[in-house]
Chains A and B, each alone.
Chain A
Amino acid sequence: MKSLRTSLATLSLAALLGGGAMAAEPIKIGVVTPLSGTYAGIGQQVRWGLELATREVNAAGGIDGRQIELIFEDEEANPAVAVQKAEKLFQVSKVDFLTGTVNSGSTLAVGQLAERSGKLIATTVSFADSITGDKCSPNVFRVNAKAGQQSAALAAWLSKEKPQAKVFYLGPDYEMGRSTVAAFKSNVDRVGGQSLGEVFAPLDSKDYTQYFGQLRASRPQVLYTSVAGNDTVRLFTQLDEFGLLNNLTLLGASGTVTAQNITAIGKAAEGFVTGVGYSAEIDTPANKKFLAAFRAANKADPDLYGADSYGLIFAYKAAVERAKSTDADKVREALRGLKWSTPQGEKTIRAGDHQAEQIMYVVRVSDGKFKIVGQVDGPAAIGPDACTRF
């Protein structure tokens, strides 16, 4: 009897020690993100955000005493490469969790791989509604705002500022341009605005003046556009040169005016309004602390990608601590309905479609800088749960 008890004690001690040894092992998070090519700038922000959060969590004792280890792979913004690299991280590096995918195609393809491999992923960048909509997966989470949230926030602001606004739409003529215009149009119709007409200009158009006749004839109060990059520069300066910006409010997608083209647009960008999930202007102690730490570490300001990626690590930490495990099924349960705080305020992961609900900000360009002019509560912006798979 006594020997049995001793051996039991030894066993449980061994189990404890074993458990201790297990706990000291780092938690591996794979990051498949574009480190080269067109999207390298976004990948850089993702990397800075994740690394900063990881340093902070590790310095504070890690997740349940386990340190976080990030393993980076370059996906070249190509789904075929992303899937191959993700499989390497899942199978060879045995990562517990994966994030970093930027273009929606990569997120969808890697999400399917995760589902077939029994792992979890989260995106902090991709904004295609389908990821947490009709193509949702039980193994995919999104902690950034989707396109629908940005557009709903903007429409909510519009209905408050300019009730029954008359809106004209000008989009780039490709699939994404048409779908962003269609999404904002349905939001405008929902809040009681009036849609006057829409035109689509080819990508890289040099001359937008051919559309100005139609634009003027319909007498809009608001012009919504989802062109991006240098197209925005040309569109806005030509609107300005033709004197069409008087009494016209410019609205747009979050990628229409960015830090990259705002200087080139110059004064024509004044008054441009868009909806975003993060702005460095957010005036909260949490954001000020994050800003200072991010600037000190990277000598650059965070953008929404950096901030959302930073926030993800804390969501994963909270979920693992709640689940007391890194097992995919347990962490999935813990992530569902999880509330956690991020630089842009509290976020909640909706259990029905794995989309994070968050306060959305409406920002306007004044003196060449984005200033927050309004905010829309999470529930008002997130829209209905369109995921039917789980």
Chain B
Amino acid sequence: MRDELTIKSHAGYWLAALLLLAGLVVAGVGFATGDVFYLRLASEALIFGGLALSVDILLGYTGLLSLGQALHFGLGAYVSALALIATQSFWTAMGVALAAGVLGGLVGGFIANRVRGVYFALITFGMAQVSAKVVYNTRSLGASDGLIGVPVLDINFGFFSLSSASPTAFFLLALAILLLLYFLAAYLLDTPFGRLLIAVKANERRVPFLGYRTATLRLGSYVLAATIATLSGALYPMLRGFVSPELLFFSTSGNAVITVILGGAGTLVGALYGSVLLTVIKSVVGSWTEHHLIVIGLLFMVVVIFLPNGLMGLIQPGIRARLARGGRR
């Protein structure tokens, strides 16, 4: 049976495949021209896309606005940086980040989910600010200067290995991991669990009457989002070689929300497209004028007013219509 939601998620798969294709073309062109900057910028866009993806799980599906998702992103970045400095192993860093993601999600979700609506936004904001201040003042974490000296990695995949110093190789790795996280999230949200999250967003009071505990659902959604944010954050020090407390600041969380609105909330893949778009705009406009924040702000307002479904709202209806026709045939 093909209902609206299945078609919607399939449209997302098509757009993710398109992103993969575009990524491969970018990697090929970048490798052929010996480019460094654009490939690494694209890797960064994907990494912050992962953060936006996690915001979209909360905002677009469960209806929870998190203003502190940078907490989990920064947690991943710091945990990964410390693990990399200590062991220089990619797999250890990702393993530790996964554990930190789940654990951080359980703790954060337990605290934040005690309240709803605007209070949820405030609590997540508060948690991130408190953590940022703690990191900012902890000397063993580098305090305000952050940690530098994250080593260049040789990432071993058993039958081949790649170096994080190679822009093309690391870009492909980031692309693979982010698409993996996307498909994982998209798959989970297409199961009955995902349908229930949408139900929570639509009418939270009614869900218990159907026999489900909303607290568990909300916690599950928070843990999933936190884990994705943490794993994305874990990639950051591998790309840039350092972490700094600014990664936990509100500007990082706020940017992720803007990315989701720009890409289209509730589409998942929109977060990745939004991140690529926003990163490119920031890089180009930022070099052109120091008033780039005004440009981003205006763009945000235009999108909110004229494109309530974001960038994906422009593209997806066409794909959905095509998929629906295919379904009837």
Contact = CB atoms under 8 A, between A and B. Distances in A.
Interface of A: 35-36, 72-74, 78-81, 83-85, 87-88, 90-92, 103-105, 108-109, 111-113, 116, 128, 130, 135, 174-176
A175 B44 CA distance: 29
A87 B36 contact: yes
B191 interface: no
B28 interface: no
A80 B136 contact: no
A84 B44 contact: yes
Contacts of B136: 174-175
A111 B146 CA distance: 13
B36 A91 contact: yes
Interface of B: 35-37, 40-41, 44, 136-139, 143-146, 148-149, 152, 165, 240-242, 244-247, 249, 251, 283, 286-287, 290-293
A48 to B, nearest CB: 14
B148 A176 contact: no
A105 B287 CA distance: 21
Contact of B241 (A113, A174, A175): A113
A319 B71 CA distance: 45
30 contacts: A36-B291, A36-B292, A73-B286, A74-B290, A78-B249, A79-B242, A85-B286, A85-B287, A87-B37, A88-B37, A88-B41, A88-B287, A90-B37, A91-B36, A103-B144, A105-B145, A105-B244, A105-B245, A109-B146, A109-B148, A109-B241, A109-B242, A111-B148, A112-B149, A116-B241, A128-B145, A130-B145, A174-B137, A175-B139, A176-B143
B287 A83 contact: no
Nearest to B242: A109
A80 B244 contact: yes
Contacts of A176: 143-144
Contacts of B249: 78
Contacts, number: 88
A128 B143 CA distance: 12
A174 B143 CA distance: 9
Given A74-B290, A83-B242, A113-B241, A88 B283 contact: yes
Chain A contact residues, majority secondary structure: helix
A79 B148 CA distance: 11
Contacts of A81: 286
B292 A109 contact: no
Given A87-B37, A128-B145, A109 B240 contact: yes
Nearest to A175: B143
Nearest to B149: A112
B240 A108 contact: no
Contact of B148 (A72, A78, A87, A108): A108
A87 B40 contact: yes
Given A83-B240, A109-B240, A109-B244, A92 B291 contact: no
A85 B143 CA distance: 23
A245 B144 CA distance: 33
B293 A36 contact: yes
Contacts of A36: 290-293
A79 B246 contact: yes
Contact of B145 (A83, A104, A174): A104
Nearest to B142: A105
A74 B286 contact: yes
A198 to B, nearest CB: 17
Can you list the 6 inter-chain pairs with the closest CB atoms, starting with the nearest?
A35-B290, A175-B143, A91-B37, A79-B244, A109-B242, A91-B36
Nearest to A33: B290
